[in-house]
């Protein structure tokens, strides 16, 4: 028997499918390694900015072997527009070295192995598992966390709880596409600021009446 939240989830899915029957992956990449690096760069940075920076970076270090051999200062200089360049450059160089040494220059295909890499947390691992390997995952970014609370799908205490709540509501075979649909919908129709209720079909149905955020 479906719960009230699952019934709500089904209606939300239908709306998202109508608006976004297909969704592109926001970060430009060629393979699992370049996607992994792009996701690391995307922390506290827009996808647009990451996509502006990665062509130069991948010309120099488009494989784990090439990236591991690049001088740290060179990586840092290229990625500076993405912010947090000292930390991100170290993470990128170190994860590249580890992939070469421990995984035969191939990005590992498990959550535990990905999360053991420098600079790779659960969200980053989830994006790579979902978008590079097509393994069901539900990466939770700030957009999805906010929308789940706003629509009464989750308590909104933290992203870990939000992920658990959404996985219970939505079928596993929808997760990979759904997390992208939610990101695009949040940006286009349901932003944190300047929200226009007349344009947001889902909030018209399910918006929390108090403490709207």
Split at pLDDT 50, 70, 90, the class of 213 is very low
- The set of catalytic residues is 123, 141
Q: What is the pLDDT of residue 3?
A: 85
Segment 2-24 mean pLDDT: 94
Residues 132, 134, 137: CA angle, nearest 5 degrees: 100
Q: What is the pLDDT of residue 209?
A: 64
Q: What is the pLDDT of residue 210?
A: 54
Q: Where are the domains of the chain?
A: 4-23+138-206, 32-131
Give the pTM: 0.92
Q: How buried is residue 65: exposed, middle or buried, by Cβ count under 10 Å (0-12/13-18/19+)?
A: middle
- Assign a CATH topology to domain 32-131: Endonuclease III; domain 1 (1.10.340)
Whole-angstrom distance, CA of residue 78 vs CA of residue 57: 6
Whole-angstrom distance, CA of residue 146 vs CA of residue 191: 9
3-state secondary structure of 57: helix
Query: Which two tokens mark 183?
Result: 């990101």
Q: Which CATH number fits domain 4-23+138-206: 3.20.20.80, 3.90.1580.10, 1.10.1670.10, 3.40.50.1370?
A: 1.10.1670.10
């Amino acid at each position: 028997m479906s719960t009230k939240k699952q019934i709500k989830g089904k209606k939300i899915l239908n709306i998202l499918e109508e608006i976004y029957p297909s969704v592109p992956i926001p970060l430009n990449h060629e393979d699992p390694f370049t996607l992994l690096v792009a996701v690391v760069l995307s922390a506290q940075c827009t996808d647009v900015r990451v996509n502006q920076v990665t062509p130069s970076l991948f010309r120099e270090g488009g494989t784990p072997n090439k990236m591991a051999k690049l001088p740290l200062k060179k990586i840092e200089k290229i990625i500076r527009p993405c912010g947090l360049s000292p930390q991100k450059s170290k993470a990128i160089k170190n994860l590249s070295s580890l992939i070469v040494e421990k995984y035969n220059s191939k990005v590992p295909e498990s959550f535990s192995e990905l999360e053991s890499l420098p600079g790779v947390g659960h969200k980053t691992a989830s994006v790579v598992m979902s978008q590079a390997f097509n393994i069901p995952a539900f990466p939770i970014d700030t957009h999805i966390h906010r929308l789940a609370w706003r629509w009464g799908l989750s308590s909104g205490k933290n992203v870990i709880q939000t992920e658990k709540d959404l996985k219970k509501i939505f079928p596993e075979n929808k997760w990979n596409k759904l997390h992208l649909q939610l990101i695009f919908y949040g940006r286009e129709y349901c932003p944190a600021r300047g929200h226009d209720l007349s344009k947001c079909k889902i909030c018209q149905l399910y918006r929390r009446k108090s403490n709207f955020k």
